[in-house]
Amino acid sequence: MDGPATGAPAVNGATLGLPPTQTAASGMPLTHGLAGLLLLADSRLPAGGHAHSGGAEEACRTGAISGPEDLARFLRGRLATAGRVAAALAWSACEAAQAFSRPDKESREPGSPASSGQARVADPETAWRLLDAEADARIASPAQRLAGRTQGRLLIRTARRIWPSTALETLARAVPDGAHHPIALGVAAQAAGCTPDQAAMAAAYTSVTGAATAAVRLLGLDPVTVHRLLAELPYDSVIAEQHDWSALPAHAAPALDLLAEQHLRTEVRLFVS
C-alpha cells in the first residue's frame, strides 16, 4: 500500500506558505471561492443529497455493482456522462449568475468572459428557464428529471438561507418546482463566491459521491477503499468552459436511465433515487 506521499506535502506546503495577499492573475486571492466550494461539496450540506444514490442502489440490487471493481467502473462511467453534463450546466449557471450580478452592463461587453454566454441575451428569468430546458433535453428519464428537480429545489431552499443572493431568488421564481440540481448548484456556487470552474468541480464531485456513499452503506464496502476510488477519478477531465448552451455536453447513460426507472418500481428502497 502507498504510505503518505512524501513529495506531495512539500509542494502543497510551498503553495500554502504563500502570504495571504498573494494573488492569481485574475487579481483574486488564490483561495477565492474555496470556502464556498468546500461547503457546497460537503456531504453534510443540509440539502437532501444524502438520500440519493444516483442509481447505485438499484445497481447494487441487480448485482451490477457488487464490489469495488464494478463500483469503480460505475463511478467512472457516471462521471464521464451525467457528471460531465452536470459540470457543464453548473459552469454555465454560475457564469450566468455572475453576469447578472454585475452592476455595470458594460462589463459584459466583448472581452469579458461573460460576454460570450447567453445570459446577456435575455432577462434573468427567461435565461434560467432556457438553461433549465436545456437540462431537461439532456435527461430522458422522468425518474431522473424528478430526482434532479427535487434535489435542486432542496438545494435552493438551503442555499437561500446560507448565501442570500438575487440570482437564487430569481432562479426560484423562474422555476418554482425546482431547477435541475446542477443549475441550482451553479447559482448557489456563485452566491457562495465560487468561480464557474469551482461550481463545475462541485457538480462533477457530487455526481459520484452520493453513489459511492450509497454503495458503502448498502454493500458494507470498506469506506477507505471507496474513498480511494473517489480520489482517483478524473474530475478535471469533465470540466470545460462553456459558451453556447445549446452545444453543452449531452452525454447519455442508458444504463442509468434504466436503473432510475427500475428503482422507482422496486418495492424495497432506501434511497429516493
Partner 1 sequence: MTKALVRARAILRTGLDDRGLTRIETIRSDPPLTLRQTAPGEVHLVSTGAGPLGGDHLRLDVEVAEGTSLTVRSIASTLVLPGAGRSLMEIHVYVASGATLVFAPEPTVLAAGCDHRMTTAVTLAADASLFWREEIVFGRHGERPGRCHSRFDATAGGRPLLRQEFVVGDPEADGSPAVFGTARCVGSTLITTETPAEGPKSEPREAEVAEGVAVLPLAGPGTLVSALAADAVELRKRLSWGESRVSVQAGSPARATVGLRPPASRFP
Partner 2 sequence: MSANHDDHHDAPDGHGRALRLGIGGPVGSGKTALTAALCRSLGPSLRLGVVTNDIYTTEDADFLRRAGVIDPDRIMAVQTGCCPHTAIRDDIAANVDAVETLEERFGPLDLVIVESGGDNLTATFSRGLADRQIFVLDVSGGDKVPRKGGPGVTSADLLVVNKTDLAPMVGADLTVMSRDAAAVRDGKPVLFTSIREDRGAHSVAEWVAGVVDSWRHQHSHSHLS
Instruction: Give contact residues for partner 2 (rule: CB under 8 A).
Output: 44-53, 150, 153-158, 160-161, 172-173, 176-178, 214, 217-218, 267-272
Q: Report whether 65 contacts 59 (CB < 8 A).
A: yes
Of the pair 65, 272, the CB lying nearest partner 2 is at: 272
Examine residue 138 and tell whether it contacts partner 1 (CB under 8 A). Answer: yes
Q: Where are the alpha helices (DSSP H) in 34-141?
A: 34-41, 56-62, 68-78, 84-101, 124-137
Find the shortest distance in angstroms from Cβ 261 to partner 2.
16
Q: Does 232 bind partner 1 (CB under 8 A)?
A: no
The rounded distance, in Å, linking the Cα atoms of 232 and 227 is: 9
**Nearer to partner 2 (CB atom), residue 150 or residue 242:** 150
Output the CA torsion sign for 53, 54, 55, 56.
negative
Q: Which does 268 bind (CB under 5 to 8 A by kind): partner 2, partner 1, none?
A: partner 2
Residue 196 C-beta: closest distance to partner 2, Å: 24
Q: Give whole-number Cα distances, 66 to 157, 194, 218, 272, in Å.
A: 35, 37, 10, 20
Find the binder of partner 1 among 33, 36, 49, 55 (CB under 8 A): 55
Residue 221 makes CB contacts below 8 A (sequence gap 6+) with: 67, 68, 71, 215
Q: Which of 112, 243, 258, 269 binds partner 1 (CB under 8 A)?
A: 258
Q: How far apart are CA 18 and CA 53, in angstroms?
A: 39
Radius of gyration over every alpha carbon of the chain, rounded to an integer in angstroms: 19
Residue of 59, 45, 48 lying closest to 218 (CA atoms): 59
Residue 46 or residue 254: which is nearer to partner 1 going by CB?
254
Question: Considering CB distances under 5 to 8 angstroms, the limit depending on partner class, which of partner 2, partner 1, none binds residue 74?
Answer: partner 1
Q: Which residues bind partner 1 (CB under 8 A)?
A: 55, 59, 64-65, 70, 73-82, 133-134, 136-143, 145, 234, 237, 246, 248-259, 261-262, 265
